[in-house]
């Protein structure tokens, strides 16, 4: 028995060492620019005691991976943090990013708190399920910023675009393009997802001003390219005389592919999205139908690295100019849209995609100087 | 010689042995990476997140012992969560909360009874039936609460979040109660029936075990436990989301299997799966604290889980070779 015990213990020890060794090494792994000299964040807590100007640790909590948006977001966060690390202002980011549920994200946040981070950037997977946990973080003196998704927790700042305005931009374009008349269909994202709800509200508001536009049907493409394509194919079959369609995000690529595949005599007018793959597809569509037109409004992941800059400035003790803030609880940094591409500036959009992968979302990260507009000078 | 006998003896007579080894191992690694793990506040914040899955896992374990499987548990969690979040509300009284806690438990048992009726009385395949009803329940939750929101009073939520009687997390007491109840139940005739039905239903039938009723009851218990999990996760998050339970289903099954219960039924208990559920959650912590590169996280976690699942089989394989 004692021999067995010894085996188990030594196995435990071995695994422990292995995992321990794994940590710092793994951060140097692929794709991302490495940070060879930075010590692991866990090794220098206790810096929160006295007011300091540097050595801040920022934690990231992201509950959804395997989307281009999130991948670009994480990569950009790491990149922007390198800047601050080089200036010794921050240490290595503590990133909690995995597909998880509400309980899992609560655990992510708790683990960040347990690692004594000074600020948390959270992309919340639930509109209110994290509230109590975020309050605990605030109570510990941690600066909490919600990126991409607005939260209504006193003390939590939000950084993002106005999702409603984002959707209104392209809905307005579609309504004008159709001259305020015609039959259209809507393909929405996840029903019930806050961003989708805000967007569809925006679309309804715009369409309310155009009584001549008739919404024949609404279906969900679940923010998925393939589903969007399938839904659009069904719509094209059901409504051969469709005048237009409104959709959002990756589903726009699927929808346009469906139109190109069906190639009806009269192409419906459709909205697109600010992704290089779509702009390339747009160029291709023009070769099939020179009259084709679209609009691509970027929902850019750059809001998160901009949020990181805001967090760093707040950590350095700069005072937020609350008069520049907006949103539901007046604690939102509402960022301008990164790019609106129409047929007039399609070339510019394509130029932005030069050298970028297909999945790249047109983006804009505010510079350190640009971020100063939110702070009292 | 003696060692070999001890190992086999432990593995067969005490299915809890291996999950316990896994838990001790993973807790040791977690403790090494996070030295303040056993601080009361840290321990409590961990355990309050683990508890909903633990509760769900116990129900799943009983269904597996009885030779079935319940894929609808996550849907039941969501239904309970949306009922509480919409009916009690952020401004609700504690009387209202208790009232709907009781209703939730009934709803959970009822949902389980629907599963049980199809499987035990209509003799439908458990996996297909509960897969289908999982959509039924998830759809019902979405019907109750189309957009995330609502909630329960934060004062009630904080009872769950911050209670530490005698300096121990609330979850420890819940686990103790679960173990005591199970110790009693498994010693009763009903407990023996559960194992008999899961092990060999025909033989059980021939020895006058009420097979149909026992199968039916297992799903009712599972639905009831899912309702408890739904109450716990609602108190954890304080809010409603029709999708909240969905990702928990597979975790509950994984936890049961890590806990040493056989998929084929008739073997195992409840203690092992509880340890399995904790291990599964601790593994996520280990991944967090080891600062593995973000892009590798999912792969590493899955690898550890697969290794944990495969370990007893691999050990047995080597033992057979040597014998």
Cα distance between residue B257 and residue B263, in whole Å = 7
Domain total for chain B? 1
Domain contains B186: yes
> What local confidence, expressed as pLDDT, does residue A193 receive?
74
pLDDT single digits (tens) B139-150: 999 999 988 888
Provide the CATH number for the domain around residue B101.
Answer: 1.10.3470
Domain contains B138: yes
| Chain B, nearest residue to A66 by Cα | B295
| Interface contact flag, B295 A20, Cβ < 8 Å | no
pLDDT confidence of B287, banded at 50, 70, 90?
confident
| Interface contact flag, B293 A30, Cβ < 8 Å | yes
Whether the CB of A111 is below 8 Å from some CB of chain B: the reply is yes
| Interface contact flag, A95 B241, Cβ < 8 Å | no
| CA distances to A35, A107, A142, B54 from A116, in Å | 20, 14, 9, 28
* Long-range contacts of residues B314-322, Cβ cutoff 8 Å, at least 24 apart: B316/B11, B319/B4, B319/B7, B319/B8
CATH code 3.40.50.2300 for A163-297: yes
Domain contains B249: yes
Q: B59 near B70, Cβ under 8 Å?
A: yes
- This complex has an ipTM of 0.86
| Interface contact flag, A111 B33, Cβ < 8 Å | no
Whether the CB of B147 is below 8 Å from some CB of chain A: the reply is yes
Between positions 153 and 182 of A, the ones with CB within 8 A of B are: none
| pLDDT above 90 for A50 | no
| Interface contact flag, A29 B296, Cβ < 8 Å | yes
Whether the CB of B298 is below 8 Å from some CB of chain A: the reply is yes
Domain contains B35: no
| pLDDT above 80 for B11 | no
- Which uninterrupted H or E stretch holds B282? helix B271-289
Domain housing B181: 44-315
Between positions 49 and 68 of B, the ones with CB within 8 A of A are: 49, 52-53
Whether the CB of A31 is below 8 Å from some CB of chain B: the reply is yes
Rounded mean pLDDT, B35-64:
93
Cα distance between residue B157 and residue B163, in whole Å = 10
Between positions 32 and 71 of A, the ones with CB within 8 A of B are: 32, 40-42, 65
> What local confidence, expressed as pLDDT, does residue A377 receive?
79
Cα distance between residue A294 and residue A248, in whole Å = 12
Could you tell me the two tokens for B197? 């039905």
> What local confidence, expressed as pLDDT, does residue A111 receive?
92
Whether the CB of B148 is below 8 Å from some CB of chain A: the reply is yes
pLDDT single digits (tens) B78-112: 999 999 999 998 888 888 999 999 999 999 999 99
| pLDDT above 60 for B30 | yes
| Interface contact flag, B296 A1, Cβ < 8 Å | no
Q: A252 near A271, Cβ under 8 Å?
A: yes
Best mutation target among B288, B303, B314 (most A Cβ atoms within 10 Å) is: B288
| Interface contact flag, B149 A127, Cβ < 8 Å | yes
pLDDT single digits (tens) A154-170: 899 999 998 888 999 99
| pLDDT above 60 for A16 | no
Q: Output the CATH code of domain A53-161+301-335.
A: 3.40.50.2300
Whether the CB of B291 is below 8 Å from some CB of chain A: the reply is yes
Whether the CB of A100 is below 8 Å from some CB of chain B: the reply is yes
Could you tell me the two tokens for B313? 């089989």
| Chain A, nearest residue to B9 by Cα | A1
Which residues of chain B make contact with A114, given a CB cutoff of 8 A? 34, 36, 42, 45
* Long-range contacts of residues B1-4, Cβ cutoff 8 Å, at least 24 apart: B2/A1, B3/A1, B3/A3, B3/A4, B4/B319, B4/B323
pLDDT confidence of B240, banded at 50, 70, 90?
very high
Whether the CB of A16 is below 8 Å from some CB of chain B: the reply is yes
| pLDDT above 90 for B7 | no
Helix A225-238 crosses helix A251-262 at what angle (to 10 degrees)?
40
Placement of tokens 């089989």 in the chain = B313
Per-residue HEC secondary structure of chain A comes to: CHHHHHHHHHHHHHHHHHHHHHHHHHCCCCCCCCCCCCCCHHHCCCCCCCCCCCCECEEEEECCCCCHHHHHHHHHHHHHHHHHHHCCCECCCEEEECCCCHHHHHHHHHHHHHCCCCEEEECCCCCCCCHHHHHHHHHCCCEEEEECCCCCCCCCEEEECCHHHHHHHHHHHHHHHCCCCEEEEEEECCCCCHHHHHHHHHHHHHHHCCCCEEEEEEEECCCCHHHHHHHHHHHHHHCCCCCEEECCCCHHHHHHHHHHHHCCCCCCEECCCCEHHHHHHHHHHHHHCCCCCCCEECCCCCHHHHHHHHHHHHHCCCCECHHHCECCCCCEEECCCCCEECHHHHHHHHHHCCCCCCCCECCCCCCHHHHHHHECC
Q: Give start-end residues of each CATH 3.40.50.2300 domain in chain A.
A: 53-161+301-335, 163-297
CB nearest A131 (choices: B32, B239, B292): B239
């Amino acid at each position: 028995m004692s021999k067995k015990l010894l085996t188990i213990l030594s196995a435990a020890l071995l695994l422990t060492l292995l995992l321990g060794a794994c940590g710092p090494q793994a951060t140097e792994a692929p794709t991302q620019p490495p940070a060879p000299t930075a010590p692991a964040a866990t090794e220098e807590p206790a810096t929160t005691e006295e007011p300091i100007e540097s050595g801040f640790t920022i934690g990231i909590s992201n509950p959804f991976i395997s989307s281009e948006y999130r991948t670009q977001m994480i990569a950009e966060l790491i990149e922007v943090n390198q800047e601050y690390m080089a200036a010794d202002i921050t240490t290595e980011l503590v990133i909690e990013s995995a597909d998880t549920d509400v309980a899992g994200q609560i655990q992510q946040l708790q683990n960040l708190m347990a690692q004594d981070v000074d600020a948390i950037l959270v992309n919340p997977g639930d509109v209110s399920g994290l509230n109590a946990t975020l309050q605990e973080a605030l109570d510990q003196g941690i600066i909490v910023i919600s990126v991409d998704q607005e939260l209504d927790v006193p003390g939590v700042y939000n950084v993002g675009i106005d999702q409603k305005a984002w959707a209104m931009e392209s809905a307005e374009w579609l309504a004008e393009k159709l001259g305020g008349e015609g039959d259209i269909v809507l393909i929405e994202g996840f029903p019930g997802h806050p961003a989708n709800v805000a967007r569809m509200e925006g679309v309804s508001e715009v369409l309310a001003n155009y009584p001549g536009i008739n919404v024949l049907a609404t279906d969900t493409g679940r923010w998925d390219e393939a589903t969007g394509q399938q839904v659009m194919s069904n719509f094209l079959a059901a409504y051969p005389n469709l005048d237009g369609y409104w959709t959002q995000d990756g589903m726009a690529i699927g929808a346009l592919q469906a139109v190109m595949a069906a190639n009806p005599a009269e192409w419906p007018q459709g909205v697109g999205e600010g992704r290089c793959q779509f702009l390339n597809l747009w160029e291709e569509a023009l070769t099939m139908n020179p009259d084709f037109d679209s609009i691509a409004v970027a929902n850019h992941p750059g809001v998160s690295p901009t949020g990181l800059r805001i967090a760093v400035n707040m950590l350095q003790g700069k005072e937020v100019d609350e008069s520049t803030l907006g949103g539901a609880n007046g604690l939102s940094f509402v960022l301008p849209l990164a790019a609106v591409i129409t047929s007039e500036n399609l070339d510019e959009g394509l130029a932005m995609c030069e050298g970028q992968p297909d999945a790249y979302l047109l983006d804009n990260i505010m510079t350190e100087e640009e971020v100063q507009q939110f702070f009292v000078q | 010689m003696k060692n070999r006998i001890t190992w086999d003896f432990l593995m067969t007579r005490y299915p809890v042995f291996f999950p316990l080894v896994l838990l001790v191992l993973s807790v040791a690694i977690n403790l090494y990476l996070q030295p303040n793990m056993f601080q009361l506040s840290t321990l409590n914040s961990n355990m309050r997140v683990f508890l909903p899955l633990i509760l769900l896992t116990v129900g799943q374990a009983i269904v597996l012992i009885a030779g079935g499987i319940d894929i609808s548990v996550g849907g039941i969690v969501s239904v309970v969560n949306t009922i509480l979040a919409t009916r009690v509300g952020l401004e609700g009284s504690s009387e209202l909360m208790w009232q709907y806690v009781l209703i939730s438990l009934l709803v959970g048992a009822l949902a389980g009874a629907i599963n049980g009726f199809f499987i035990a009385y209509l003799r439908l395949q458990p996996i297909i039936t509960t897969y289908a009803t999982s959509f039924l329940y998830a759809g019902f939750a979405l019907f109750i609460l189309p957009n995330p929101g609502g909630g329960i009073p934060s004062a009630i939520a904080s009872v769950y979040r911050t209670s530490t009687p005698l300096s121990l997390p609330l979850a420890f007491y819940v686990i103790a109660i679960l173990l005591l109840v199970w110790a009693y139940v498994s010693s009763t005739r009903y407990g023996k029936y559960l194992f008999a039905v899961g092990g060999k239903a025909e033989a059980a039938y021939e020895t006058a075990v009420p097979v149909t009723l026992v199968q039916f009851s297992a799903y009712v218990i599972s639905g009831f436990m899912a309702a408890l999990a739904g109450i716990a996760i609602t108190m954890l998050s304080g809010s409603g989301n029709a999708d909240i339970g969905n990702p928990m289903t597979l975790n509950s099954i994984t936890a049961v299997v890590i806990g040493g219960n056989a998929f084929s039924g008739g073997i195992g208990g409840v203690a092992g799966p509880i340890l399995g559920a904790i291990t599964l959650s601790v593994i996520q912590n280990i991944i967090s604290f080891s600062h593995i590169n973000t892009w590798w996280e999912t792969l590493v976690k899955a690898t550890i889980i697969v290794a944990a699942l495969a370990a007893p089989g691999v050990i047995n394989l080597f033992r057979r070779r040597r014998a």
